[in-house]
Structure 1
Amino acid sequence: MSQATTSRRIPRRRPLAVAAAATATAAVAGIAVVQLSGAGAATPPGATLFADTNRDGRLNGGDMRGRSAWTDDRGALVMPNLDDSAGRCPTLAEDGSRLTDDELAACHDASDERVNGPLDALDLAPLRVAALPRAGSDAFATITVNAAAAPHVRLFLHRHGEYTPLGPDTRLTGEQLRSGVRLALEARDLVRDPAEWDGLIDVTLEVVDGDRTSGDTARLRVAPLILTHDLLPIDRMVISDNGTTPEDAERHGYDPEVPARPVEDGEEVFRAELGAALAGAGLNDDLLEYPTGGDRWMRDQFITGYFAVPGPDGTAHRMRVLLRSADVMPEGSSADFPLRDAGRSAFTVLRGPGTAVLQQYDADRVGDDEHSALWGSFSSTGNFLVAPPDERFPAGRVLYGSNLELAAPDATFTRLLQAQHEQEPLAVDTSWLAVGHIDEFLSFVPAGTERGWAAVVADPELGRDLLTEAGADALLDDERLTAGTRLAAAGIDRALELLTRELGLSAEDIVRVPALFTRLDVPGHPRQDIVANHLPAVANGVATGTRTFLAPVPHAPADATGEDVFQRAAEEALAAVGVRVAWVEEWDYAHAVGTVGGEIHCVTNALRDLSAARPWWRSPGRS
């Protein structure tokens, strides 16, 4: 693959690469000048292999205890090295053709046998063989990795600032053993299927010195993928560039910092009001462009997360992760291009230093276009939310919509999320929704309550009551809206019963906002008695992380004072938990598009400030 044909990446600004670049020199020096210091740092007898067992970001005497085990309290971690630190991943094949989806995903820092500069070195886990000053001239040592982990990791010998791949047959010499040996461990992937690999890595040192043999083992765990929750402040808001196709960006390069020209109805108004709302919340209002070629549903392209491991001085070293949607294209899917085309831009535009892009999908679903047209939307990442952290789930909990009997998101995708063991995904029955996305009736905001956050939940019965007060007879007499209210109320009640039980929500943790649903009749669809939001759904908004909630203008009838009754009720409900509403007009750009449309959450994505995320390994109550 050509190294010359690479994408234009986000300039080295705060959201993606600057934090990593600013600390690279110091952190790499920490690996290069690893010392055994502190209490208990005297040279230990026999073969000794050190890893950062006490998770302070350094190798020192505090790592002596418990190196061969991994528990919630002790045990070293290694970052999945899946970003593109040197910008070497191409966007086109050598012959100028488009790379396949799998070829795009296959390129990252760990896909070669090199350490690609200081930023790449930052993502390796340091190891050290303690010096054996009395080792004989014929002494030697080997270092091996357990069979399950071996295909997923790589060891490097770190000497004189250079990194050399270390194979299972490589022998460390007596001379090296006498002075001590520095190593670095690279994780080539995250855990995708625990049946194949559980994420634990046993690195074993064996020293042979004459007729004496000694050994030691250090156990590490690959860092899990943690999906971000919406209480973290927004760093940059990502929106669709509808006038540029993913292939255009791949062939000609793309700068996501350059504002795109609005090409869709209502897009100019939406962009202006979204930017004003972000500025009013004290956030960066420069929208980050993302080429989709008209697939405006930005939240459906990827969901954001991160990897994190201990860094020096009590800090956390993080890598941003974009997990591409496993939504097989509803028509024309093929083995080379199975997934929604706009998802490719995550690789070609946003991947780079400190930002990894992953994909996971079941290849057996490819080509079944009829099934994808009817059920594929469950796999869209707009169908995944993260309940914010609490005592039981310190990293938050993944929620997703599912038709529990007939269809669900891609099983390999949800298995990957389950395999991380930190956010225990929970399926919520959304079979009553035409699109089936959980964000159509649910979101989360910070709250001045004991829990610290609240669920914003659509309430169709409240919506009917407000319409009655406003004398909106035409809406009240519509049989489709009456049926929609009944079906949606029943579905939301079932969802709340589950969420109350699984998340421990109390009445004060639920903010009810008005909604109005209509029943849809879709001939030939396998699900009937399904609904969609008739008016823009207030609950389908975006929490900014600054106690401002971005919500779509609902276009409900006005009361006697001329005020939109849904807006008034939503403002009062959210103000009760300390949240301000910023209204954004998106009717033409989002709500009125297609059969069911969407709202702000559907047509935006957010890169959030990861520095506000507490290290998952330190969280109290981890299980």
Structure 2
Amino acid sequence: MQGQSRTLRLDRGQRLQAVCVLGTTLSIDVNGGSPPECKWFSFRPTPNIEIEVLNSDASQQKVINGVKLWPLSKKTLVEFRMTTPSTETNDGKITFAYYGKGSDAPVDKAGIYLTGIEMSLDVDADRDGTVEKNNPRKATWTWGPEGQGAILLVNCDKDSMFSRTVDGGDNIVLSKADLLDMSRMLLRIQGPEKLPTGYHLLLYISATDAPNLGVFHQHNKVYTHVVGREKLFYKARYTGTGELEFYVEGLRFPDEGFNGLVTVKASLLETQVEGIPETPIFTDVVTFRIAPLIITPNTLEPVEVYVCSVKDNYLFLKEIKNLVSEANYKIRICFEYVNRGDRWMQDEMEFGYIHAPHKSFPVVLDSPRDGELKDFPIRELLGPDFGYVTRVAASSEVTSLDSFGNLEVSPPVTAAGKKYPLGRILIGSSFPTSSGRRMTKVVRDFLYAQRVQSPIELFTDWLLVGHVDEFMTFVPAPDQKGFRLVLASPATCLRVFQEKKQEGHGDATMFQGLETKRWTVTKILSTDVIVQENIYAQHCIDWNRDILKKELGLTEEDIIDIPALFRLHKDEAVAFFPNMVNMIVLGKDLGIPKPYGPIIKETCSLEDYVVELFKPLELKCTFIDDVVSYHKKLGEVHCGTNVRRKPFSFKWWQMEQP
């Protein structure tokens, strides 16, 4: 931190000792060391000192015996700074001489012995992966392509089997791989082998920041926790010329009441008299921002698909495995000894990642729903370079809307002139004027606090389950837009059925091959309660359609409507036939719930309609039978699967301030 200054007091006949940090200015009131009646003074510095006289009338200067004398006034100050680090203690010196009126020889003298050191606390403030020296903007944090300020990752993975739940919070580094997750911080020193007596180096943080970060330093070949949590400071060992290396970890994601910024300071302390508190004579400051959790939209490239194996989903599992295999991605099956009969893989967790210039790794966000799958994220996913985070809510507060089928992310968009290069989070909520269900506050607060994917709240409380994935999804598109919003549409379904009836297919039946009540096209169109319930469902979806168009900057050309029908169960909607919008998106391969629509000319008319709809986008549709194992249990393909995806190529810190 450049530009610091401090004042020294000089007494007659005194030989003052001081340490001067390069880049700082020392100031002396020369009157303090002058005898009474003295009118002039001179000074002689060693070559490693620059000196300047302030508030002295230069026109009154005179030279006696080759020595320039400066007139003294009550306001006269001398400012000086050292230009190079000392090689030995006290190798800088200024001698002051005082002269009386008409005197050719000094009446008295005083002197200062100076030890110059170069000192800087350094981090990767320019975000290029290297710790540069004394970046002038390292104490502040700014967004954007030209932004400055260092970044911390929350140390939420588990590199060592001996760690607690996650690495963050350990008192020693148990694995060298763990150091790679942390940000390097260097205390750079250049000066003599030893400091004068009474000077110490201190690394410290505020009590407010203490729960949010940890600092490690090597002792006897072991990296030990020295600052953070209950430790607010660490007395660092002065080593002369060299670097003290520290590693810094984040312990907490940005959240309600915590904006993600943390500050570390290093001070040079001075003790004048034993028993008197030390005072800082120089302080350097660095600021980190803790990286947010970034959630991935389903238009990013898949890495691995997750699905449960339960007693009644053998055929579903077989079809999912075939789809994933043909799309050439990996699959991980969670067996019953872990899932304990809980099949809703989407609802238990959401995948994201964290990213700093030096490192990036995936993180699973564990839902507070805590069904029988609750052990899967921490037991099966947490590990080396795979992080874990959760938010705990009171069980009385948790509703169906806290399951993560109710948490999606849009692809990158621009809306109202503002760019969202990492997309926007979408969560379902209640109608603005109602007191219905909402996602629990601790999760909503957490999502909003990440800042980089500014959340949008949609109206989903009209649905029995209440999840956004029951009426919307996104699919990739091979054009400049890059995606389409897909919405479930009762109006589209009723229109398609009307067309089929007019074509003479009113007797075509749905649900063929299933042990369920069969419905013809004509019967559906003539059943007034179905029509009225779906007019209501369409109204609810249109409410969300308008929000999405505004908040995501979409036009009607960016939206695809696919047929869907709903029925009301105690005033809350459920899918009448398998809900095709609740699909799994694997690049250009779509796994869509088989709708069991009206069979016309030996093919399902709803499947044919959707295939034609997606053909211009070069998307391949595979229809998966989920009726028995998921649909009848109020879920579909998307609810029963989950996908970990590659991160965005865009670096979140290059966003304009969100």
Same fold by TM-score greater than 0.5 = yes
2-structure distance, mates of 1:564, 1:230: 27
CA shift for structure 1 position 88:
3.1
Which residue of 600, 607, 612 corresponds with 1:572? 612
Q: Does 1:76 align with 2:150?
A: yes
Q: Does 1:340 align with 2:371?
A: yes
2-structure distance, mates of 1:617, 1:467: 50
**SS state at 2:308 partner:** strand
Match of 1:51 in 2: 123
Match of 2:269 in 1: 208
Match of 2:138 in 1: 67
**SS state at 1:274 partner:** helix
Residue 135 of structure 2 aligns with an amino acid whose one-letter code is M
CA shift for structure 1 position 613:
4.2
**SS state at 1:180 partner:** strand
Superposed CA offset, 1:414-450 (max 9, x none) = 1011011111111101122111111001011111233
In proportion to residue count, which structure has more helix?
Answer: 1
Match of 2:350 in 1: 303
Match of 1:136 in 2: 195
**SS state at 2:207 partner:** coil
Q: How does 1:48-197 map to 2 (within 5 A)?
A: 48-61=120-133, 64-72=135-143, 73-88=147-162, 107-134=165-192, 136=195, 138=197, 139-158=199-218, 161-167=221-227, 168-175=232-239, 177-193=240-256, 195=257, 197=258
1-structure distance, mates of 2:330, 2:159: 25
Residue 366 of structure 2 aligns with an amino acid whose one-letter code is R
Instruction: Give the 3 Å change call, closer, same or farther, for CA 439–169 of structure 1 in structure 2.
Output: closer
CA shift for structure 1 position 578:
3.0
Which residue of 454, 458, 463 corresponds with 1:433? 463
2-structure distance, mates of 1:591, 1:174: 68
CA shift for structure 1 position 286:
5.4
Instruction: Give the 3 Å change call, closer, same or farther, for CA 128–513 of structure 1 in structure 2.
Output: same
**SS state at 1:486 partner:** helix
Instruction: Give the 3 Å change call, closer, same or farther, for CA 71–289 of structure 1 in structure 2.
Output: farther
Q: Does 1:533 align with 2:575?
A: yes
CA shift for structure 1 position 480:
3.8
CA shift for structure 1 position 127:
0.2
Superposed CA offset, 1:27-61 (max 9, x none) = xxxxxxxxxxxxxxx99964311111011111124
Instruction: Give the 3 Å change call, closer, same or farther, for CA 425–148 of structure 1 in structure 2.
Output: same
Residue 252 of structure 2 aligns with an amino acid whose one-letter code is D
In proportion to residue count, which structure has more strand?
Answer: 2
- State whether residues 207 and 213 of structure 1, in contact with CA within 8 Å, keep that contact through their aligned partners in structure 2: yes
Superposed CA offset, 1:222-244 (max 9, x none) = 111111111122211111243xx
CA shift for structure 1 position 534:
0.7
- State whether residues 275 and 287 of structure 1, in contact with CA within 8 Å, keep that contact through their aligned partners in structure 2: no
Q: How does 1:385-404 map to 2 (within 5 A)?
A: 385-391=408-414, 392-404=419-431
- State whether residues 394 and 622 of structure 1, in contact with CA within 8 Å, keep that contact through their aligned partners in structure 2: no
**SS state at 1:52 partner:** coil
2-structure distance, mates of 1:486, 1:432: 13
Q: How does 1:220-299 map to 2 (within 5 A)?
A: 220-242=288-310, 263-264=311-312, 267-285=313-331, 287=333, 289=335, 291-299=338-346
Instruction: Give the 3 Å change call, closer, same or farther, for CA 464–227 of structure 1 in structure 2.
Output: same
- State whether residues 483 and 519 of structure 1, in contact with CA within 8 Å, keep that contact through their aligned partners in structure 2: no
- State whether residues 47 and 205 of structure 1, in contact with CA within 8 Å, keep that contact through their aligned partners in structure 2: no
Q: Does 1:379 align with 2:437?
A: no
Match of 1:548 in 2: 589
- State whether residues 342 and 371 of structure 2, in contact with CA within 8 Å, keep that contact through their aligned partners in structure 1: no
1-structure distance, mates of 2:657, 2:117: 35
Residue 289 of structure 2 aligns with an amino acid whose one-letter code is R
2-structure distance, mates of 1:286, 1:222: 31
1-structure distance, mates of 2:532, 2:223: 66
- State whether residues 345 and 642 of structure 2, in contact with CA within 8 Å, keep that contact through their aligned partners in structure 1: yes
2-structure distance, mates of 1:65, 1:565: 66
CA shift for structure 1 position 397:
0.7
Superposed CA offset, 1:311-342 (max 9, x none) = 2xxxxx22221111122xxxxxxxxxxx3342
2-structure distance, mates of 1:89, 1:268: 37
Percentage of pairs with the same residue: 25
Superposed CA offset, 1:167-202 (max 9, x none) = 444312222x53221111111121222x2x221111
Match of 2:14 in 1: none
RMSD: 2.2
Match of 1:23 in 2: none
2-structure distance, mates of 1:174, 1:616: 37
Match of 1:354 in 2: 385
Which residue of 522, 526, 542 corresponds with 1:473? 522
Higher relative contact order (CA 8 A, sep 6+): 1
CA shift for structure 1 position 379:
0.8
Superposed CA offset, 1:110-164 (max 9, x none) = 1321212022111111000112223625442101113321122111113675312
Residue 618 of structure 2 aligns with an amino acid whose one-letter code is G
In structure 1, stretches of 5+ residues that fail to align are 1-41, 91-106, 243-262, 312-316, 328-338, 523-527
1-structure distance, mates of 2:261, 2:390: 22
Aligned residues: 502
- State whether residues 302 and 381 of structure 1, in contact with CA within 8 Å, keep that contact through their aligned partners in structure 2: yes
Higher mean alpha-carbon deviation, 488-497 vs 346-355, is at 346-355
Instruction: Give the 3 Å change call, closer, same or farther, for CA 576–352 of structure 1 in structure 2.
Output: same
2-structure distance, mates of 1:241, 1:358: 25
Higher mean alpha-carbon deviation, 232-241 vs 158-167, is at 158-167
Residue 238 of structure 1 aligns with an amino acid whose one-letter code is Y
CA shift for structure 1 position 209:
6.1
Q: How does 1:397-412 map to 2 (within 5 A)?
A: 397-404=424-431, 405-406=434-435, 407-412=437-442
TM-score (norm 1): 0.77
Which residue of 494, 497, 509 corresponds with 2:543? 494
Which residue of 637, 648, 658 corresponds with 1:600? 637
CA shift for structure 1 position 288:
5.3
Q: How does 1:442-461 map to 2 (within 5 A)?
A: 442-461=472-491
- State whether residues 593 and 624 of structure 2, in contact with CA within 8 Å, keep that contact through their aligned partners in structure 1: yes
Residue 152 of structure 1 aligns with an amino acid whose one-letter code is N
Residue 384 of structure 1 aligns with an amino acid whose one-letter code is L
2-structure distance, mates of 1:447, 1:286: 27
Superposed CA offset, 1:465-500 (max 9, x none) = 122233211222234421231111101111000000
Instruction: Give the 3 Å change call, closer, same or farther, for CA 131–483 of structure 1 in structure 2.
Output: same
**SS state at 1:588 partner:** coil
Bigger radius of gyration, 1 or 2? 2
**SS state at 2:314 partner:** helix
Match of 2:3 in 1: none
- State whether residues 118 and 189 of structure 2, in contact with CA within 8 Å, keep that contact through their aligned partners in structure 1: no
Instruction: Give the 3 Å change call, closer, same or farther, for CA 318–284 of structure 1 in structure 2.
Output: same
Match of 1:514 in 2: 563
CA shift for structure 1 position 458:
0.8
2-structure distance, mates of 1:356, 1:286: 17
Match of 1:217 in 2: 285
- State whether residues 340 and 372 of structure 2, in contact with CA within 8 Å, keep that contact through their aligned partners in structure 1: no
